[in-house]
Structure 1
Amino acid sequence: MSGANGAGKTTLLEAVYLLARGRSFRGRKAGSLTSDGECRTLIEGRFREADSSNESMLVFERSGRGSLRRYNSVVMGSLPPSDSPLRVKLVGENPQALLEGEPTLRRGLLDWNVFHVEHQLGRLRAELRRVLAQRNAALRQGGSRASFWDPAFVDLSDQMTAKRMDFVELWRSEFRSYADAFPFLHGSDLFFERGWPKDGDLSASLKRGQSAEILRGQTLAGAHRADIKIGRDGSPLRLSRGQAKVAVCLLQLAAERVHLGKGLAPSLWLLDDIDAELDASTAERLWRLFGDSDAQMLIARLSSESGGIAEVSAGAATMFHVERGTLTSPALVGLPPPPWSSA
């Protein structure tokens, strides 16, 4: 789909993301989901699953009472990722922020991908969050009871780290195979930092850092501090905005390949203006990789010209135009159907 800046392209991708995950990919600075003067946000999505001829419906609703999702009229609650009827992978309008921003963003990407193949991770993460809150409270009260929480905290951190490392080993292998197609990523690798020094155990790290933890009132080592980085020869890569965008796309493609290898169905790709800041040759190579993923894609871009995207979807795509939040076909708005459109 194409449209000018502010036309509503990203909002449409966000709507699908909300149906799939129950939360937005935009930060709090983007404001409320519900327009001023309205009492609720309601999104309905109809689709057919690959192994069924029956139509299913997902509904997302947010009001003053909170958010709710329903799948075929049944409240979903906290549905495990493995049971979700709609699985999406996003490359947003500012993917370089993932590499340059806070570790929380990268840790979230890691854990969401691990969830799909290690279904216990959600429970472990929730339990770690609970124990961590108790330990931090003890630190703020002088630290005398912080050690009471150490055995549980260390055990949960070790369990989460083991599951994360198993996934990262597969992930980094796939990432390296993709990276070889782009000269600026030759020799690069994906590194996992577990959240405490790799040459020691967590219990010892907690004891050594006790004074600093009491001073700051928070736990400074553990699985809640994990991170992933792209680097070469042990040092983080310095990438331009366009190069960082490519790297994030490859991370998502590599994760998808791991998921497919574990028997999961293909994801629905949500791709927001990924041509921007890329030269034609790089964009064409990237689109070819997305095309090889053999998955359905929702693509938002400024231009209705096909560019390298033609390699992905020749004979299998439908073009839409977005203006003021309204989605229309090219025939209705006077746009010529692009060469990669079947509509």
Structure 2
Amino acid sequence: MVFERSSRGSRRRYNSIAVGSIPPSDSPLRVKLIGENPQILLEGEPMLRRGLLDWNVFHVEHSLGLLRADLKRVLAQRNAALRQAGDAASFWDPAFVELSDRINARRAVFVEEWRTQLRPLADEFPFLEGCDLAFDRGWAADRDLSDLLKRGRSAEIHRGQTLAGAHRADIRISRDGVSSRFSRGQAKVAVCLLQLAAERVHRRKGLAPSLWLLDDIDAELDSTTAGKLWRLFGDSDGQQFVARLSHELGSVRDEADNPDALFHVEQGTLAPSEPAGVPSPTTSSL
């Protein structure tokens, strides 16, 4: 990957090809991280979930990156016009609506495939019974965005910002149309399954396996639930880097013909660890 910057702007190239022009099957290495507090994705601001959605869509629809950049530019201009309390905002409506529709179309296609791949994974965990992945496109499903912008102009001028459009899209896990509430451990499982389901969509599109970075997945999970998760990660094709505070045999994939490489970190020093050895409580396993 090469990053170039000049007076004309910046661009990224992979194997001498502009990143936006690379077909999905030749995409650069994809890295999927599940950190120590993945539940913040479900509990935090919509922009976090929108970012997860768009990052996954981008790998199969590279045009999304340019569309998002254009939407951001038009949205900034439209919001500036609204803050001036004039009619200039209407000048930006056609471009804003067109970009919102084009982005929404790409998101909606991916979400439908995402839902299909998520269902069999969710079936493994009783607390997710009846749950589904819901997509909010950023404006009412039964309303035309152009009409909404016209009817809501006074409210937008009062708030100084655009209140409907692709920039307000969100995803959520719901049951019977109501957002599901999870414990911290359950939310962690749900986020892991979202990532695993997205990876299945990518693989079906011909993309190479992702590199997984998994940080302390076992925390806040009982052994049965953790075991199910490790089995699902083990079934994926991608290489995994696993950081843990302790090591228990059987949790991380352990195949005779392809054993896991184990290391431990102590006082900043990385050293190999024998599979039979159990690090001390102050030692991290990688």
Please tell me whether residue 223 in structure 1 is matched to residue 166 in structure 2.
Answer: yes
Match of 2:74 in 1: 131
Deviations 1:62-83 (A, max 9, x none): xxxxx998978x7988786945
Query: 1:247 is paired with a residue of what secondary structure?
Result: helix
Partner in structure 2 of residue 36 of structure 1: none
Q: Measure how far apart 1:113 and its partner are.
A: 0.4
> Which residue of structure 2 lines up, in the alignment, with residue 291 of structure 1?
234
Query: Equivalent residue for 1:214?
Result: 157
Q: In 1, distance between residues paired with 2:17 and 2:133?
A: 38
Residue in 1 that maps onto 2:177: 234
* 1:109 is aligned to 2:52: yes
Whether 1:282 aligns to 2:228 is: no
SS of 1:165's equivalent in the other structure is helix
Task: Quote how far apart the aligned CAs of 1:248 are.
Answer: 0.3
Q: Sort the Cα spacing of 1:97 and 1:79 in 2 relative to 1 into closer, same or farther, 3 A.
A: farther
Contact preservation (8 Å) 1:180, 1:186 = yes
Corresponding residue for residue 11 of structure 1: none
Specify which of 76, 79, 97 is matched with residue 154 of structure 1: 97
Q: What 5-or-longer segments of structure 1 have no aligned partner?
A: 1-57, 61-66, 339-343
CA distance, structure 2, for counterparts of residue 240 and residue 169 of structure 1? 26
1:193 aligned to 136, 140, 143, which one? 136
Q: Give the deviation of 1:85 after TM superposition.
A: 2.9
Kindly provide the amino acid, as one letter, of the partner of residue 196 in structure 1: W
Partner of 1:320: 263
**Aligned CA distance change for structure 1 residues 234 and 266 (closer, same or farther; 3 Å):** same
**Match of 2:251, SS?**
helix
Q: Is the partner of 1:309 in helix, strand or coil? A: coil
8 Å Cα contact 2:253-2:260 kept in structure 1: no
Report if aligned partners of 1:114, 1:121 keep a CA contact under 8 Å in 2. yes
Q: Using the TM superposition, give the Cα deviation of residue 311 of structure 1 relative to its aligned residue in structure 2, in angstroms.
A: 5.6
Please state if 1:178 is matched with 2:158: no
CA contact (8 A) 1:288 1:311 kept: no
- Which residue among 77, 84, 96 is the counterpart of 1:141? 84
1:232 & 1:123 partners in 2: Cα distance?
34
Alpha carbons of 1:167 and 1:220: their partners in 2 closer, same or farther (altered >3 Å)? same
- Provide the rounded CA distance (Å) in 2 between the counterparts of 1:314 and 1:241: 36
Residue in structure 2 matched with residue 336 of structure 1 by the alignment = 277
The 1:196/1:231 distance shift into structure 2, 3 A limit, reads: same
- What is the root-mean-square deviation in Å for CA atoms of aligned residues? 2.7
Q: 1:153 to 1:120 in 2, by over 3 A?
A: same
Alignment check: 8 A CA contact 2:246 2:278 kept: no
Deviation at 1:154, TM superposition (A): 0.2
Q: Deviations over 1:283-322 (max 9, x none)?
A: 0011101111122101011013235224678842100112
Conserved in 1, the CA contact under 8 Å of 2:68 and 2:103?
Answer: yes
User: Following the alignment from structure 1 to structure 2, what is the Cα–Cα distance between the partners of residues 313 and 213?
Assistant: 62
Gaps of 5+ in 2: 4-9, 280-286
Q: Is the 8 A contact 2:21 2:62 kept in 1?
A: no
Report deviation, 1:212: 1.3
- Give the structure-2-normalised TM-score: 0.87
Report the CA distance shift for 1:77/1:310 in structure 2 as closer, same or farther (over 3 A).
Answer: closer
Structure 1 residue aligned with 2:208:
265
Q: How many residues of Structure 1 are paired with residues of Structure 2 in the alignment?
A: 272
Percent of aligned pairs with the same residue? 69
The one of 136, 145, 158 equivalent to 1:202 is: 145
Give the aligned partner of residue 91 of structure 1: 34
Report SS of the residue matched to 2:174. strand
In structure 2, the partner of 1:54 is none
After the TM superposition, which residues 48-87 of structure 1 pair with which residues of structure 2 at under 5 Å, given as runs? 82=24, 83-87=26-30
SS at match of 1:189: strand
Q: Distance in 2 between matches of 1:68 and 1:148?
A: 30
What is the alpha-carbon distance in structure 2 between the residues aligned to residue 158 and residue 335 of structure 1? 56
One-letter amino acid matched to 1:336: G
